[in-house]
Structure 1
Amino acid sequence: MTLTDPTTSSDAGAVLDGPALWSAQAHMPTVLGRQLVIDRGEGAYVVTTEGQRLFDGTAGLWHANVGHAHPELAQAAYDQMRRLETYHVFARYANDKAIALGERLAAIAPMERAKVILNSGGSDSIDVAAKLARRHWQREGRAEKTIVLSRDLSYHGLHAFGTSIAGLPFNREGYGSDSLVPETARVAQHDLADVERTILELGPERIAAIVTEPVQGTGGVHPPAPGYLEGLQRLCREHDILLVLDEVITGFGRTGTMFAAQRYGVEPDLVTFAKGVTSGYAPLGGVLVSPRIWEPFYVDSVETPIFRHGVTYAGHATASAVALAHLDVLERDGLVARVGELEAVLRQQLDGLAARQAGVVDVRVAGLLGGVELAPELDAVRVTDALVDLGFISRPLRGNTLQLSPPFIIADEELVSFVAAIEHAIIQEGNR
């Protein structure tokens, strides 16, 4: 890291120079010179350019479910690129891998007869789902149904719609208005009575959709309160509001079922997905669409409208080939069922941690998703820094919470060691 002359005469201090890469979600002055540069991966571990081997306790950004450097996924990408890197799926064109992936995803979707919209990632998926929800009601002749609701502490990516419906205020601040896309609002995180009050105050005739993560991730790993998702579905049905499940984190096994909708017994109108569809080996996301929504766009009539969606890499052939190979690995190796086994280990370990350490305010578990909420006097950022020194990666989330979401391929003893390292780092922080 080097210092350059300040570009202004401000009292803010010198302008810091560093790599050309502007890191994501970063307060740059405090990360420059401290970045961990990852050089390679080995299963559940990554290795830095300095040679430090780290247990990947977050699976990257919740996505490396089958671990890093899986040879079958690398081979799938290589083979596909040698044949056809990609071809777009606009209008009458398609490619064989995108078609095959659509069929595969429709067969495992948490709704019958789903159609599949493919794109490049989770933020894309949220934008498409929110637009499709509003487009649905316009087509129905109910033009007043435009409001998109989301929950307090929710995270839905950082495209325009995802920024607008975020339940984390800091992701909406600084853009000149409370909502980049107008007509959005937040509802209570767990309180169904409060959700219903909000619906009635805004007017159900004005609400297009409610978007929710089944398990809130970035907001601090919050599983739904008992009955909440079922109650949300009931409210949506009673008030003719579309239910959109954001399964970008939870999809493809993270909660012990292929989709969290199946774990919690919910039948959504739309499901967004990304991350786990390829285990992060290629950027791919999409939306699962129920017949209620897609059928009017498939009627054989000159009056049938077009839904104007699509990005250049939608249905990317190589990404689709990797996704197909990844789904093969999930099924062949029984990794979704394995998550259920690991959940029991994680829950036992975190319950024990909470019982032993007064600095642990709460622990939360759903599948292989865990959150450890620390007391205010403990700093989650410093704890995660200490964990790196111990050879483990966690991440500080909103609410002074530590993230645990390792790959599905780990052994029980690795999960036990991860929690033991967290306890060591908490004790170290408490003794500061």
Structure 2
Amino acid sequence: MALDRNPGPNDLSAFWMPFTANRQFKKAPRMFVGASGMYYKTADGRDVLDGTAGLWCCNAGHCRPKITEAIQKQAAELDYAPAFQMGHPKAFELASALRDMAPEGMDHVFFTNSGSEAVETALKIAIAYHRARGEGARTRLIGRERGYHGVNFGGISVGGIVNNRKMFGTLLAGVDHLPHTHLPDQNAFTRGQPEHGAYLADDLERIVALHGAETIAAVIVEPMAGSTGVLMPPKGYLEKLRAICTKHGILLIFDEVITGFGRLGSAFAADHFGVQPDMMTVAKGLTNGVIPMGAVLAAGAIHDAFMQGPEHVIELFHGYTYSGNPIASAAGIATLQTYREEGLFENAAALAPYWEDALHSLKGLPHVIDIRNMGLIGAVELEPIAGEPTKRAFTAFLNAYEKGLLIRTTGDIIAMSPPLMIDKAQIDEVFGKLSAVLKSLA
């Protein structure tokens, strides 16, 4: 096709949109054309309060000056540098900043381009680590029902959301799943961590007995499951998982793509819960969603197991063309600086009780069957329409957009996770609009 060909009309047909009802959208498009702070601007000139930090990623809000300036400066100075056998200073600077922010012992950072790639990387590192130590039989991976770990084959194999898996044939072999932690009969309308369910971690002992600990490389879980509908870890659950993994020499991977960078009021969920994993996957808030970037944070012992043999030999045959991309690295550095200078993690922690009270004020509204919260995350679970699952929540999503509020839905669950710069007046705006939406549902 000639490059000088006159472009055709923009009829929206060329873009096959991800995780979208494409036909419905293209009949009535919802277009954002600008953003600032806590708000998006629509194509028809309306302000929409961002109740979801984009897709759980714009933790510092939108179009923040320090991040914008860092990207502009870096693009003019060094646009791209290869990460294979070469380097540039910003990647090392960002890795050091992440190490300093991370829980003690997370000493090394491997850069990727997304949360999905970070998960694939962590799973590969886990298997290769055991092989490097002479335990090559440890290849089995353990995920969890209703878990979300991105959309690549490794991620959907250890993940447990049915619709993300069922269309794609045979997945990775040697994968098992723990039960999910959602116990609505015992834990409905819980504020923070539920009281019941720590025993669910004991199922890992059953899996160990079934396959043998010597075959299991790693367990991967979201400390708090986000995309499946905001499922909280019961009190004592993560501690039990850590203890069982340690007992059997199994690596514990926390998928912190959503929970990382202040979402729960601490830098990471590992800090919030006081549980130390062996690796953590991060993305989203790492660059405030501005430039694609992810990372795996690994304990020193994992990294050091590879640093053997002749120094001129590549230790890990894995990586991406854009690992540690200069512009993404600059964005990441500026994002971490913005969090620190504006006290955004502290703001999230301080406002969490106000957020919790506002969220739970929705109890008793039509079709609300559960409410869950932690930090600046909240979920409202709706009673499904008989024979039409997901329709009630999707209707709420559309109505909220018309009222100037962006929410997320998964199944019949409404999820919210606003930028950490939110204030009390904006929290009132979120739940005032959401209350009106819920009252209008059939």
Classify the secondary structure of the residue corresponding to 1:36.
coil
In structure 1, how many angstroms separate the alpha carbons of the residues matched to 2:15 and 2:425?
Answer: 37
In the alignment, is residue 54 of structure 1 matched against residue 48 of structure 2? yes
Is 1:184 aligned with 2:175?
Answer: yes
Q: What is the TM-score normalised by the length of structure 1?
A: 0.91
Letter in 1 for 2:409: P
Instruction: Quickly say closer, same or farther: Cα 1:427–1:54, change in 2 above 3 A.
Output: same
- Distance of 1:303 and 1:314 partners within structure 2: 20
Which TM-score applies when normalising by structure 2? Answer: 0.89
Question: In 1, distance between residues paired with 2:305 and 2:212?
Answer: 26
Evaluate the alpha carbon distance shift between residue 206 and residue 300 of structure 1 in structure 2; reply closer, same or farther with a 3 A threshold. Answer: closer
What does residue 437 of structure 2 align with?
Answer: 425
Following TM superposition, by how much is the alpha carbon of 1:254 offset from its aligned partner in structure 2, in angstroms? 0.7
Structure 2: how far apart are the matches of 1:129 and 1:392?
A: 35
Whether contact under 8 Å (1:373, 1:402) holds in the other structure is yes
Select which of 420, 424, 427 maps to 1:408.
420
Distance 2:144 2:228 in 1: 10
- Deviation of the 1:221 alpha carbon: 0.5
Map of 1:6 onto structure 2: none
Task: Give yes or no for contact 1:86–1:95 (8 Å, CA) kept in 2.
Answer: no
Structure 2 CA distance for aligned equivalents of residues 19 and 154 of structure 1: 32
Select which of 371, 375, 395 maps to 2:379. 371
- Counterpart for residue 213 of structure 2: 204
The question of whether the paired residues in 2 share the 8 Å contact of 1:339 and 1:368 is answered with yes
- Contact kept, 8 Å, 2:35 with 2:62, in 1: the verdict is yes
* 2:8 alignment counterpart: none
Structure 2 residue corresponding to 1:124, chosen from 93, 111, 117: 117
Alignment pair present for 1:107 and 2:100: yes
Is this contact kept in 2: 1:277–1:326, CA < 8 A?
Answer: yes
The residue type equivalent to 2:178 in the other structure is: V
Secondary structure at 1:221 match in 2: coil
Shift of 1:358: 5.2
Partner of 1:225: 234
SS of residue paired to 1:409: coil
Q: Give the secondary-structure state (helix, strand or coil) at the position aligned to 2:334.
A: helix
Aligned position for 1:385: 398
> How many angstroms does 1:30 deviate by?
2.6
* Greater mean alpha carbon deviation, residues 209-218 or residues 108-117: 108-117
Alignment identity in percent? 32
- Asked if the contact 1:297–1:305 (Cα under 8 Å) also holds between the matched residues in 2, the reply is no
- Alignment RMSD: 1.6
Counterparts of 2:312 and 2:211, CA distance in 1: 32
Which residue type is aligned with residue 227 of structure 1? G
Q: Is the 8 A contact 2:140 2:174 kept in 1?
A: yes
In 2, Cα distance between the equivalents of 1:199 and 1:360? 39
Number of residue equivalences: 409
Partner of 1:246: 255
> Residues 31-66 of structure 1: CA distance to partner in whole angstroms, max 9, x if unpaired?
222221111101111012222211111111000111
Q: CA deviation at 1:301?
A: 4.0
Distance (Å, rounded) in 2 between the aligned partners of 1:331 and 1:118: 22
CA distance in 2, matches of 1:375, 1:247: 29
Give matches, 1:17-416, under 5 Å. Answer: 18-91=12-85, 93-112=86-105, 114-177=107-170, 179=171, 181-190=172-181, 191-299=200-308, 301=310, 306-354=315-363, 356-357=364-365, 359-377=367-385, 379-398=392-411, 400-416=412-428
TM-aligned CA deviation for residue 203 of structure 1 = 2.1
For structure 1, list consecutive stretches of 5 or more residues without a partner in the other structure.
1-16
Residue 99 of structure 1, CA deviation: 0.8
Which digits, 9 at most, give the CA deviation of each residue in 1:96-151, with x for residues without a partner?
A: 10011111111111132511101111111001000000111111222221111111
Equivalent-residue separation in structure 2 for 1:246 and 1:252 (angstroms): 12
Secondary structure, in 3 states, of the residue corresponding to 1:279? coil
CA distance in structure 2 between the partners assigned to 1:407 and 1:113 by the alignment:
26
Q: CA deviation at 1:268?
A: 0.8
- Report the AA paired with residue 383 of structure 1: A
Distance (Å, rounded) in 1 between the aligned partners of 2:217 and 2:134 = 12
